[in-house]
């Protein structure tokens, strides 16, 4: 497709969407039209779907300049979520920033596994999210467990502030607290549900990830050490003192890491339940308890 195929007049919504779609398609972006709408919507300050109401509406020069800058950054590989400032997760719309990983659909599997492990959504649970990042896992869980209270911990202060913003953004701030910490090292409490998506990429493999991940997302949230298991060791070591008697932890797994993490859990005297696969069929969520077969947390 050439620029001549853009039928709307220059300077209009339709023209900018057409031209941006051409550039994004040439850069092998999987959904060029959708991303063009997202970028132009962010530049103008309107929801992307509103752009389709009038393709011949004029775009103000300042919005055009913002759009050009955003498109340039996207063509350089920067993740679309960082450029538009938000990403959907579970039923929530969350703010994102380079302080944290971008929430991914794969991680929603942990919320599904939690709901299977503790099906009563009315319980007054105490929930802990280790390495909370955007707060995605904790806030998604709180949106389902309507009488629960939760704590998110992250070692990155900017990520903790981002999670606080998302708690307010989603109307969950009265039931969520966040603090800066190195895993659970500073905690002296028991929790009914612990959620954790730890760094699990082997250090040597990070450079081989998709460029938009390797270049733009925080290495500290990706790097799991030489074998990818450093964070699991730290988290599993703390679980015996963190879990309430019938509490359950749900850990996110990297590809093929299930057996190794299960062996680590056994070494700390913990039992593991059956993993839950994500939509791609990859074992993604691993339940861990002090003793499986115990009752779920009592009200």
Cα(74)–Cα(53) distance, rounded to whole angstroms? 25
Q: In the numeric block, which tokens belong to residue 231? A: 């964070």
Q: In the numeric block, which tokens belong to residue 56? A: 């011949």
**Residue 133 annotated in ligand binding:** yes
Cα(250)–Cα(266) distance, rounded to whole angstroms? 15
**Residue 134 annotated in ligand binding:** yes
**Residue 199 annotated in ligand binding:** yes
**Residue 85 annotated in ligand binding:** no
**Residue 297 annotated in ligand binding:** no
Own/partner contacts of 78-86, CB < 8 Å, gap of 24 or more, are 78/212, 78/216, 79/212, 79/213, 79/216, 79/217, 80/35, 80/38, 80/39, 82/216, 83/38, 83/39, 83/42, 84/38, 84/39, 84/41, 84/42, 85/42
Query: In 227-249, which positions are buried (b, 16+ CB within 10 angstroms) versus exposed (e)?
Result: ebbbbbbbbbebbeebbbebbbb
**Residue 119 annotated in ligand binding:** no
- Three-state DSSP class for residue 162: helix
Distances (CA, A) of 238 to 70, 115, 202, 273, 293: 43, 23, 22, 18, 21
- Three-state DSSP class for residue 6: coil
**Residue 197 annotated in ligand binding:** yes
**Residue 47 annotated in ligand binding:** no
**Residue 188 annotated in ligand binding:** no
**Residue 200 annotated in ligand binding:** yes
> Residue 8's CB: how many other CB atoms inside 10 A?
16
**Residue 149 annotated in ligand binding:** no
Cα(181)–Cα(159) distance, rounded to whole angstroms? 11
- Residues tagged in the binding site annotation: 131-135, 154, 183, 197-200
- Residues tagged in the binding site annotation for S-adenosyl-L-methionine: 131-135, 154, 183, 197
- Residues tagged in the binding site annotation for substrate: 197-200
């Amino acid at each position: 497709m050439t620029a001549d195929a853009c039928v709307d007049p220059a300077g209009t919504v339709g023209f900018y969407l057409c031209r941006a779609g051409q550039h994004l398609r040439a850069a092998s972006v999987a959904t060029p039209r959708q991303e063009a709408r997202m970028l132009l919507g962010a530049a103008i300050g309107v929801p992307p779907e509103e752009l389709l109401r009038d393709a011949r509406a004029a775009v103000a020069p300042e919005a055009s300049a913002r759009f050009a800058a955003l498109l340039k950054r996207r063509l350089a590989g920067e993740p679309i979520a960082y450029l538009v400032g938000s990403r959907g997760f579970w039923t929530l719309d969350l703010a994102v920033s380079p302080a944290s990983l971008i929430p991914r659909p794969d991680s929603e599997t942990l919320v599904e596994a939690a709901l299977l492990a503790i099906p009563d959504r009315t319980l007054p649970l105490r929930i802990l999210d280790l390495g909370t990042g955007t707060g995605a896992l904790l806030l998604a869980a709180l949106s389902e467990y309507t009488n629960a209270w939760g704590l998110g911990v992250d070692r990155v202060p900017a990520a903790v502030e981002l999670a606080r913003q998302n708690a307010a953004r989603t109307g969950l701030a009265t039931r969520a607290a966040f603090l800066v910490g190195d895993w659970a090292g500073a905690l002296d409490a028991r929790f009914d549900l612990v959620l954790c998506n730890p760094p699990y990429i082997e250090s040597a493999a990070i450079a081989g990830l998709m460029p938009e991940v390797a270049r733009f997302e925080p290495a500290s949230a990706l790097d799991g050490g030489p074998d990818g298991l450093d964070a699991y060791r730290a988290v599993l070591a703390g679980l015996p003192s963190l879990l309430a008697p019938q509490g359950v932890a749900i850990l996110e797994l990297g590809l093929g890491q299930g057996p190794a993490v299960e062996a680590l859990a056994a070494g700390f005297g913990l039992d593991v339940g059956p993993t839950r696969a994500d939509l791609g069929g990859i074992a993604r969520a691993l339940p861990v308890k002090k003793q499986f077969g115990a009752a779920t947390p009592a009200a």
